Amino acid sequence: MRSRIPTLAALLGVQLLIAGALLMRHEALSTTPPNAPFLTKAIGTSDRILIDGPAMPGRSGAAPVELLERNGTWVVHSAYDVPASKTRVSALLRQFGGLRRGVPVANTKDARARFKVAADHYDRRVRFAHGGRAIATVYLGDSAGLRKSYGRAAGDRAIYTLGVATYDLPVKSGTWIDAKLLQIPSDEIAEIDVHGAHGAGVALTRTVSAKQAPGPWQATGLAPGRALDAAKAGALVRAIDELRVADVLGEQASPDWQTGAPQATLTIGRQGGTTATWTLSKPKTGDRYVLKSSSEPWYFTIDSATAQPLVDAAEPDGLAEVPSRPATHPAHPAHPAHPAHPVHPAHAAPPHRKVTAN
C-alpha cells in the first residue's frame, strides 16, 4: 500500500496541474461576464469615424472613409465634405454602441489571424474618436452567420461573434453621402422652367400655398395647338421630389462630362421665392449622367433611370399631350356576286340520249 502512495500523489499532482490549466484558460476567455458591453467606452460622443479594409500583412487597405461631425452635421470628409446620410451614421453609432460580448470564441494570436481580426489582418477596421483622441477601435473579420461577423476590440485579446456584417460598412466614400441632398418636396414646387439641348423651353407655373393643395399646372412655350399633359408634368415633379444622387465627383468639372452641352436644364422655383437650377449632362462614356445644382458646389452622378424623366421633359413637346388622330372609317367592302341558285332536278333539261342505229 505504501508503495502506491508516491504514484497516487504523482497522479493527483498531474490532475491538479490539468485542472489549473483549464481554469486559467477559462478565466482568459471569460475576463468579463457574458452580455457585458463589447466596447468599454461610450462612442455616442464621437466626432470622427474612420472605416477601412480589407488589409493583410504586407498590403494595407485603401484610404479610409472618413466621417466628421461639424456643428452637429456629419459630412463625408473623404468625399469633398458632402453631407453624410444621417440615417446611416446614426445607425452605425447605435449598432456599435449596442454590441454585447457574449461568449468569446478564441483569444490567441493565431486565432486573431485565422478569424481576420488582427491589427494587420482584417476585413474592416472601424475607429471612433472625439476631440482628436481615440475612443475605440474594432476589427471585424470573417462572417459568423447571417448579418454577423467575428470581431475584436483593440486592446482585448478575446474574439467574439458580433451582430454586425462587414457588407453594411462599405469602404467607398460615395456610399455614405446623403443621396437625398438635392431633393425638393413636390408640394413646395411652384415653377419649373425646362430647356433641352434643342433650345426652346417650356415654363410651368402653379399656385402653391401652405394652407391648401397646389393648384393645376399651367404651361407656356408649348407649340401652337398643343396642350400640357398633366401626367407628364406630374412625372417630372415626382422625379424632382424623389431624386437620389449616386456619387459625388468633386467641385471641378471635367471636359469628359460635356457640361457645356447639357441634355436638360431645369430652373425650379419654390414656395417663398428661392430657386435652384439643375444642369444635366451626358458624359462621353458610361451609363450615367452628371448633375450640377446651383444650390451646391459639387457635381454628382445619377443613374440613367433617375435621369430619364428629366431628359424626357426637356425634349421637344416632351410635356405636351400626344395629338389625337382623327377617326377613320373602314371602306365598305364590295358586295359579293350573288351565287347562282341551284337548279331543281325536276326543271333540269333531260339528258341527251344516245341513239343507236339498228
In this predicted model, what pLDDT tens digit does every residue of 139-193 receive, in sequence order? 999 999 999 999 999 999 999 999 999 999 999 999 999 999 999 999 999 999 9
| pLDDT at residue 200, rounded to an integer | 75
pLDDT (mean) for 220-246: 96
Using an 8 Å Cβ cutoff, are 304 and 288 in contact? yes
pLDDT of residue 158: 96
pTM: 0.80
- Is pLDDT at 326 greater than 90 in this prediction? no
- Domain ranges within the chain, ordered by starting residue: 48-176, 186-314
Instruction: For the domain covering 186-314, report its CATH number.
Output: 2.60.40
Categorize the per-residue pLDDT at 353 as very low, low, confident or very high, splitting at 50, 70 and 90: very low
pLDDT of residue 24: 46
Question: Per-residue confidence at 7, pLDDT binned at 50, 70, 90?
Answer: low
The band of 23, judged by pLDDT with boundaries at 50, 70 and 90, is very low
Residue 327, pLDDT score: 57
pLDDT single digits (tens) 134-146:
999 999 999 999 9
**Residue whose entry in the numeric block shows the C-alpha cell 470622427:** 48
Residue 58's pLDDT band, with cuts at 50, 70 and 90, is confident
pLDDT more than 90, % of the chain: 74
Could you report the per-residue pLDDT of 90-146, keeping only the tens digit for each? 999 999 999 999 999 999 999 999 999 999 999 999 999 999 999 999 999 999 999
Q: Count other C-beta atoms under 10 Å from residue 49's C-beta.
A: 25
Q: Judge whether residue 16 has pLDDT over 70.
A: no
Dihedral angle over CA of 64, 69, 70, 76, nearest 10: 40
pLDDT digits (tens, 9 = 90+) for 24-33: 444 444 455 7
pLDDT score recorded for residue 6: 56
Q: What per-residue confidence (pLDDT) applies to 323?
A: 79
